[in-house]
């Protein structure tokens, strides 16, 4: 295997509830975790004639050919044109392996395009991969087996063949990558790996990872470098829960005349703009309701954490650090941190040391997992080759499927 690892590109990836993320070198690719039916050839041609967007990037207009269906499937943002779309993760689990596999192909194809632009073409891949977790269901083994069955085997090697189309440009590309190895782990384990390579300097510390996403949050205690499987779980509560409840409160306060879409509330959160105009009512300030909902979710999360701390304590384990990540970390970090401090009775000084914000590592909480899985792949290669692993990382470019004008 050592010969195969030479010139092998380390890529990290994760299939999240709302978005898929792939990381290679200094670049991250992100697209929505949704796959959809394609238009007919005639409808596609009509769409191209009517499409006036200046954004002709692959990430925005991607279709992947589905061998199992013998048809094109739109991925990510391009599903805006699908009559039928499918979010292939549901309640923290992969529900459609075919579409999840297509999304994996999409991520690797898009990353291949970006690396080619940088003069670093990909031929062989070592993949570190994060899978969503649910207590009692071993999705890792199932998806790993599924991927293995759908690879092309030739001369004792395994290949991933990808046929992709940029629908806006009507351009088709076919690529083939040798998949030298794939290391799969629980999704939040990537964040721990990032800490291991940076803050921990390859020393092992027991770490409790809290990963808050759009529709779910994940808990993953890591003891002596291994995921504590029996305590790992995914819960169907995330930022969407908060925005849904605020939308309901606004609807009720307007005497059930106007329902503000949750997406409009969601869009305001990153801007810290907590006012929204309600027709017939005026400008509605939902600051106090947001604070209340955040407090409720933080208390619920820390209740789960405290239960696990008790279980681990009975086994003779203590936790050194708590790490809060995911898209919801921007909104909930301080509230959860304070709840943890209240539970343990910690001073602010201890709290600052014990509860880690990925931004102190120079990383957005949304991207720390896929960076960690790239490092996991990099470590696997170094161990096999008997070399020192490169612990450094620096994200300089983020490619998204959101519109660019």
* Residue at 354 is within a domain: no
**Looking at residue 33, which CATH number applies to its domain?**
3.30.420.40
The number of domains in the chain is 2
**Using H for helix, E for strand and C for coil, what is the string for 345-399?**
CCCHHHHHHHEECHHHHCCCCCCHHHHHHHHHHHHHHHHHHCCCCCCCCCCCEEE
From CA 338, how far away is CA 379, in angstroms rounded?
Answer: 35
Assess whether 178 and 252 both reside in one domain. Answer: no
Residue 168 lies in a domain: yes
- Res 97: pLDDT: 85
- 116 occurs within a structural domain: yes
- Both 34 and 166 in a single domain? yes
Residue 246 and residue 120: Cα distance in Å, rounded?
47
Q: Evaluate whether residue 211 is within a structural domain.
A: no
Assess whether 21 and 122 both reside in one domain: yes
| Domain end point (choices 285, 317, 345) | 285
If asked whether residues 116 and 264 sit together in one domain, one would say no
Predicted pLDDT of residue 148: 85
Residue with tokens 């960690």: 372
DSSP run (H or E) holding 116: helix 97-117
- What is the reported pLDDT for 164? 98
Structural domain boundaries, residue 271: 239-285
One domain, residues 177 and 274: no
Whether 254 and 111 map to the same domain: the answer is: no
Q: What pLDDT score was predicted for residue 240?
A: 87
Do 158 and 23 share a structural domain? yes
What pLDDT sits at residue 277?
82
Residue 373 included in any domain: yes
Residues 402, 405: Cα–Cα separation, whole Å: 10
Same domain assignment for residues 38 and 168: yes
Total-model pTM: 0.91
Q: Please indicate, yes or no, whether residues 140 and 252 belong to a single structural domain of this protein.
A: no
Condensed to tens digits (0 to 9), the pLDDT of residues 240-290 reads: 889 889 888 888 876 666 677 777 888 888 778 888 887 766 788 889 999
CA distance 311 to 297: 22
The dihedral of CA 151, 184, 188, 232: what is its sign? positive
Residue 260 and residue 173 share a domain: no
CA distance 104 to 177: 13
Q: Which of 83-89's residues contact partners 24+ apart within 8 Å by CB, and which partners?
A: 83/36, 83/37, 84/36, 84/37, 85/34, 85/35, 85/36, 85/37, 86/34, 86/35, 86/36, 87/33, 87/34, 88/15, 88/33, 88/34, 88/35, 89/15, 89/16, 89/17, 89/33, 89/132
| Six token digits for residue 104 | 């994996």
Please check whether residue 221 lies inside any domain of the structure.
no
Domain final position from 253, 285, 317 = 285
Q: How far is CA 403 from the centre of its chain?
A: 19
Q: Which residues of the chain have pLDDT under 50?
A: none
- Report the SS3 class of residue 282: strand
**Residue 324 falls within a domain, yes or no?**
no
What is the SS3 assignment for 161?
A: strand
Angle at 267 between CA 265 and CA 268, to 5 degrees: 70
Domain boundary among 285, 307, 342: 285
Residues 182, 184, 187: CA angle, nearest 5 degrees: 140
341 in a structural domain: no
Same domain, 248 and 178: no
Residues 123 and 244 in one domain: no
């Amino acid at each position: 295997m050592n010969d195969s690892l030479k010139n092998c590109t380390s890529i990290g990836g994760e299939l999240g509830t709302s978005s898929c993320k792939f990381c290679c070198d200094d670049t991250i690719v992100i697209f929505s975790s949704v796959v959809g039916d394609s238009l007919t050839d005639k409808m596609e041609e009509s769409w191209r004639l009517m499409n006036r967007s200046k954004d002709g990037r692959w990430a925005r207009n991607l279709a992947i050919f589905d061998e199992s269906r013998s048809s094109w499937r739109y991925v990510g943002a391009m599903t805006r044109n699908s009559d039928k779309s499918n979010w292939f993760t549901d309640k923290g689990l992969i529900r459609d392996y075919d579409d999840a596999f297509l999304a994996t192909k999409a991520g690797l194809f898009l990353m291949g395009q970006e690396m080619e632009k940088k003069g670093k073409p990909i031929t062989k891949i070592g993949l570190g991969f994060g899978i969503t977790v649910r207590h009692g269901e071993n999705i890792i083994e199932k998806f790993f087996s599924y991927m293995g069955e759908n690879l092309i085997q030739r001369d004792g090697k395994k290949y991933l063949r990808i046929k992709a189309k940029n629908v806006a440009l009507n351009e088709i590309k076919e690529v083939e990558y040798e998949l030298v190895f794939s290391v799969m782990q629980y999704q939040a384990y990537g964040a721990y790996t990032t800490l291991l390579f940076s803050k921990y300097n390859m020393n092992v510390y027991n770490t409790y990872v809290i990963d808050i996403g759009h529709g779910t949050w994940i808990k993953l205690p890591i003891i002596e470098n291994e995921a504590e499987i029996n305590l790992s779980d995914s819960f169907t509560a995330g930022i969407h829960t908060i925005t849904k409840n605020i939308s309901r409160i606004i609807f009720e306060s307007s005497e059930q005349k106007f329902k503000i879409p949750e997406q409009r509330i969601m869009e305001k959160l990153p801007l810290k703009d907590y006012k929204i105009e309600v027709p017939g009512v005026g400008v509605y300030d939902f600051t106090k309701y947001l604070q209340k909902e955040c407090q409720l979710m933080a208390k619920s999360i820390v209740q789960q954490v405290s239960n696990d701390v008790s279980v681990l304590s009975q086994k003779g384990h203590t936790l050194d650090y708590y790490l809060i990540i995911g898209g919801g970390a921007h909104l909930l970090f301080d509230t959860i941190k304070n709840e943890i401090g209240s539970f343990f009775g910690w001073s602010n000084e201890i709290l600052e040391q014990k509860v880690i914000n990925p931004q102190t590592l120079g990383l957005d909480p949304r991207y720390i997992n896929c960076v960690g899985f790239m490092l996991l792949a990099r470590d696997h290669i170094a161990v096999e080759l008997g070399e020192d692993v490169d612990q450094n990382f620096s994200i300089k470019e983020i490619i998204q499927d959101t519109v660019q004008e």
